[in-house]
């Protein structure tokens, strides 16, 4: 038995607010009945505002990984080359998936400390005179490294060499936390999920689909069934889905969209930026390093912190969980046990941030890790300044 509330400060799933929990605590309705149509039509329309798009938003009862697969299988033919960029573990997993599905990823190597390099992408596209590359796939906010890439710069690079590839972007840990502009940045397929910035439990994922991506769907996409965008088209127009949707999560989504609207998206982004900044102030005061080396690419939804002198991040995380009942994100793959990640996204406020940072600082004290005390005080100063 642990008294008080658990601190779920992994970078997704995030804390689900009471309002959303209550909204989901309802009987499931007939997903082919008239009441459902109203829910479905409202959601499919209002989702567009969060994506900043006029395009269709396809909604799946699936984790984010499903929406990755949907993006690929709907637009590409077997053997198609896809340009992907290693910003961390999530970019790597998407690349592995492309390989498994029979596509041919051209994986541009990164160092897990920097975001996408638009100039390097431009050089690759320039060299592709035959237009073998059918899609450029990048992760907006790589949750393993806490790096946010400049998507507008990737778009400009593609435009500068007039390359016709589709631009597909994973926004699973940025949508609803960090500004993302689908239409302005000419993103053909956006991949998103429910359990991060949208504050919902896991189980929904999304593709926002441009006209150009629909054309690829009709002409290139090959073997797909569950993920087939085409089967969504006519049911969605009437507010329905081709198979049973995750009705309960959709009630929650209705509430989440209302909450984002009430706060205002710009205020949501500013809140995340402020909490991220205060977190970075604390980390720097502790004398620890932030994994993202370029200050302009440091994520506003999470911070990946490098452990000093090869001291284990997992031992620190264990102490923090055991002693203070707080879950922090683990280091993945290349940075396993080398970093821990502080999630500061979703339903979050100043005191939740201070509780989180206090838990980290107390854990540092208990674990014997080399650090400077006082990061919490510096973060408090930052928040009240
Ligand atoms: C969480 C996450 C995923 C994976 O989503 P699942 O819901 O776990 O399938 C993919 N990409 C990014 C950037 C993520 O943060």
* φ and ψ at residue 21, rounded to 5 degrees: -60, -45
What pLDDT, on the 0 to 100 scale, is given for residue 213? 98
Per residue in 148-176, pLDDT (tens digit) is: 999 999 999 999 999 999 999 999 999 99
Verify whether ligand 1 is closer than 6 Å to residue 63 (CB atom): yes
144 lines ligand 1 (CB under 6 A): no
Sheet holding 339-343, edge to edge: 289-290, 302-306, 339-343
- pLDDT greater than 90 at residue 298: yes
Q: What confidence score (pLDDT) does residue 3 get?
A: 95
pLDDT band for position 309 (50/70/90)?
A: confident
Ligand 1 near 90 CB (within 6 A): yes
pLDDT of residue 106: 98
Q: Could you tell me the pLDDT band of residue 361, with boundaries at 50, 70 and 90?
A: very high
- Domains, in order of start, for the chain: 7-14+264-384 (3.90.1150.10), 19-261 (3.40.640.10)
Confidence of residue 65 (pLDDT cuts 50, 70, 90): very high
Dihedral (CA of 10, 266, 357, 93) sign: positive
Q: What is the Å distance from ligand 1's center to 373 Cα?
A: 33
Q: What is the dihedral of CA 207, 292, 106, 76, to 10 degrees?
A: 0
What distance in angstroms lies between residue 162's CA and the mean position of ligand 1's atoms? Answer: 31
Atom 6 in ligand 1: which residue has the minimum CA distance?
A: 64
For residue 232, pLDDT beyond 90: yes
In tens, the pLDDT along 313-324 reads 999 999 999 999
Hey, whose CA ends up nearest to atom 2 of ligand 1? 172
CA distances from 225 to 76, 137, 242, 243 (A): 14, 22, 11, 11
User: Can you give the pTM of this predicted structure?
Assistant: 0.98
Query: For every residue of the chain, which 3-state class applies, written as one string?
Result: CCCCCCEEECCCCCCCCHHHHHHHCCCCCCCCCHHHHHHHHHHHHHHHHHHCCCCEEEEECCCHHHHHHHHHHHHCCCCCEEEEECCCHHHHHHHHHHHHCCCEEEEECCCCCCCCCHHHHHHHHHHCCCCCEEEEEEECEECCCCEECCHHHHHHHHHHCCCCCEEEEECCCCCCCCCCCCCCCCCCEEEEECCCCCCCCCCCEEEEECHHHHHHHHHCCCCCCCCCHHHHHHHHHCCCCCCCCCHHHHHHHHHHHHHHHHHCHHHHHHHHHHHHHHHHHHHHHCCCEECCCCHHHECCCEEEEECHHHCCHHHHHHHHHHHHCEEEECCCHHHCCCEEEEECCCCCCHHHHHHHHHHHHHHHHHHCCCCCCCHHHHHHHHHHC
> Which of 13, 60, 65 has the most ligand 1 atoms within 8 A of CB, as the residue to mutate?
65
Q: Tell me the per-residue pLDDT of 248-263, one tens digit each, with 9 for 90 and over.
A: 999 999 999 999 999 9
Residue 32 has pLDDT above 90, yes or no: yes
How would residue 310 be classed by pLDDT, with cut points 50, 70 and 90?
confident
Pocket test for ligand 1, best of 90, 175, 227 (most atoms within 8 A of CB): 90
């Amino acid at each position: 038995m642990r008294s008080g509330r658990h601190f779920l400060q992994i970078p997704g799933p995030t804390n689900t607010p009471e309002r959303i929990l209550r909204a989901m605590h309802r009987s499931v309705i007939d997903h082919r009945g008239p009441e459902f149509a109203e829910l479905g039509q409202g959601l499919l329309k209002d989702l567009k505002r969060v994506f900043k798009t006029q395009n269709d938003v396809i909604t799946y009862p699936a984790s984010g990984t499903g929406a990755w697969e949907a993006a690929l299988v709907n637009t590409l033919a077997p053997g198609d080359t896809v340009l992907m960029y290693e910003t961390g573990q999530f970019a790597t997993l998407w690349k592995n998936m492309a390989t498994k599905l029979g596509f041919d990823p051209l994986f541009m190597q990164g160092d897990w400390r920097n975001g996408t390099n638009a100039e390097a992408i431009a050089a690759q596209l320039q060299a592709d005179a035959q237009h073998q590359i059918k899609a450029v796939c990048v992760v907006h906010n790589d949750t393993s490294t806490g790096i946010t890439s400049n998507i507008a710069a990737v778009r400009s690079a593609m435009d500068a060499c007039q390359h016709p590839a589709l631009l597909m972007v994973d926004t699973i840990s940025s949508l609803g936390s960090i500004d993302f502009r689908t239409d302005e940045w000419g993103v053909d397929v956006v991949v998103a999920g429910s359990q991060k910035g949208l504050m919902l439990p896991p189980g929904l994922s999304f593709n926002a689909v441009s006209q150009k991506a629909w054309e690829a769907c009709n002409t290139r996409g090959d073997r797909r069934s569950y993920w087939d965008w085409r089967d969504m088209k006519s049911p969605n127009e009437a507010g329905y889905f081709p198979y049973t949707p995750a009705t309960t999560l959709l009630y929650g989504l209705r509430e989440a969209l209302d909450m984002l609207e009430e706060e205002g998206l710009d205020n949501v982004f500013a809140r995340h930026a402020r909490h991220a900044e205060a977190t970075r102030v604390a980390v720097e005061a502790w004398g620890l390093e932030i994994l993202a080396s370029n200050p302009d690419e440091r994520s506003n939804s999470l911070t990946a912190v490098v452990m000093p002198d090869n001291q284990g991040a997992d031992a620190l995380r264990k102490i923090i969980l055991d002693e203070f009942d707080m879950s922090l994100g683990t280091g993945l793959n290349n940075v396993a046990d080398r970093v821990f990640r502080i999630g500061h996204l979703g339903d979050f406020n100043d005191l939740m941030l201070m509780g989180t940072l206090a838990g980290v600082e107390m854990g540092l004290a208990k674990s014997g890790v080399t650090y400077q005390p006082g990061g919490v005080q510096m973060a408090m100063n930052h928040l009240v300044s």
